[in-house]
Amino acid sequence: MEFQPRVFQMFGGLYPRAHQPVEPKGKGYIQVLLKALKERNVPIRTNVRVTEIIRETPVSGDVRGVRCETKEGVRWIRARQGVVLAAGGFSANKYLRELHDPRVKNLGTDNLPNQTAGDVMMAAVRVGAYLVGMDFIQSTPGAPAGKKMKIILNTKVAESIYVDKRGSRIVDEGARRDQIRDAVLATPERYAYTVVDNETYESYNSAVHSSVEEGIRINEAWTAPTIRELAQKMGVDPEGLEKTIDRYNNVLVKNQKDPDFGKAPRNLTKRIEKGPFWACYTGMTVHHTMGGINCNTKAQVLDWQGNVVPRLYAAGEITGGIHGTNRVGGNAFLDCMVYGQIAGINAGKERRA
């Protein structure tokens, strides 16, 4: 897995400690993992929907396997060792997410549309698993209601600002994701905009550039040689935006101090000054669900009394309690990669049935 050497503070990352993968959009991880699977002759079965987990009795004894639906009908898969649940979170399950946090009602999601989101988590409940933190639901910048595209120009927090329709900044761009969500949803429009200069725009990869180009085509992203012209295209107050950028560059960055929102000096290092300038909508979309199946540090699934559900493991976004109320940007690595490996190793140590 190749990472770019530069360290930066990513959106919601709280400190400069992020490396961007060389390959965009998760491709790098998938290539490495696919190669490992191929080398070990691990089959991948697609179009197989897990609907139930099989345990000796509904809430006691070993987990024995899963019930699945396939194109050919119902199939039962017996596990020779452990079963590892890695079916992701429930951001795309409107009912479940709104049940636990009504504030996300009517927001879109940046997760893939997933008819099965939450299915496996609930199947685990039916064999005794206990859920934690279900109302900790993260929303991050994406398309506002009624708009199409998730365009991301806010990843590098030291190089971008969020403004509202009046052209005013609304929050410390380096704040926690829940604070940024609350600031955006508190604007009268319930959406904001991200503004960057050309230097920052050029530092993004081709996937970001393609989404901005498509955004410009459908009037959901904008570029212009001056801040005034940019604001006019965005439908934002031009004087407001000019004032904000001027204050940001010549007071905040110059003095290394943000009396408005307390942005840390380490993130006040870059003026937004080299045109052409670029902007996109920054609405809120449901991004990540911190809650899920309660597990111990061996990735074993626990019931409501803290007892292990024998031979059942979980890793990734399907688990709960790893991140607390707010997942720090970049940290899905913990539940996915770190606990994925722990779950795999421990499931592989189970005696063979």
Ligand X SMILES: Cc1cc2nc3c(=O)[nH]c(=O)nc-3n(C[C@H](O)[C@H](O)[C@H](O)COP(=O)(O)OP(=O)(O)OC[C@H]3O[C@@H](n4cnc5c(N)ncnc54)[C@H](O)[C@@H]3O)c2cc1C
Q: Hey, which residues are catalytic here?
A: 177
Dihedral sign for Cα atoms in the order 317, 323, 329, 333: negative
Half-sphere exposure of 275 (CA within 13 A, CB side): 11
Give the span between the Cα atoms of 271 and 252, in whole angstroms.
9
Give the span between the Cα atoms of 93 and 91, in whole angstroms.
6
Start-to-end CA distance of the chain, whole Å, equals: 35
Min CB(244)–ligand X separation in Å: 28
Amino acid at 250: N
Nearer CB in complex with ligand X: 102/113: 113
Nearer CB in complex with ligand X: 44/351: 44
Min CB(225)–ligand X separation in Å: 31
Query: Cβ neighbours of residue 41 under 8 Å, at least 6 residues apart?
Result: none
Nearer CB in complex with ligand X: 169/287: 287
Min CB(99)–ligand X separation in Å: 18
Q: Which residue is nearest to ligand X (CB)?
A: 316
Min CB(54)–ligand X separation in Å: 14
Give the span between the Cα atoms of 30 and 324, in whole angstroms.
27
Q: How far is CA 326 from CA 21, 75, 127, 323, in A?
A: 23, 38, 28, 6
How many secondary structure helices (H) and strands (E) does the chain include? Answer: 11, 14
Min CB(28)–ligand X separation in Å: 11
Nearer CB in complex with ligand X: 277/339: 339
At residue 348, what are phi and psi to the nearest 5 degrees? -70, -15
Nearer CB in complex with ligand X: 93/168: 93
Nearer CB in complex with ligand X: 282/331: 331
Which residue, 92, 78, 94, 100, is CA-closest to 317? 92
Residue 197 · residue 248 · CB < 8 Å: no
Give the span between the Cα atoms of 58 and 52, in whole angstroms.
11
Whether the ω angle into residue 276 lies within 30 degrees of 0, i.e. cis, is yes
State the residues that interact with ligand X by CB under 6 A: 48-50, 86-88, 110-111, 114, 116, 119-120, 287-288, 316-318, 330-333, 336
Give the span between the Cα atoms of 155 and 17, in whole angstroms.
13
Q: Report residue 264 CA to chain centroid gap.
A: 23
CA angle 201–247–232, rounded 5-degree value: 60
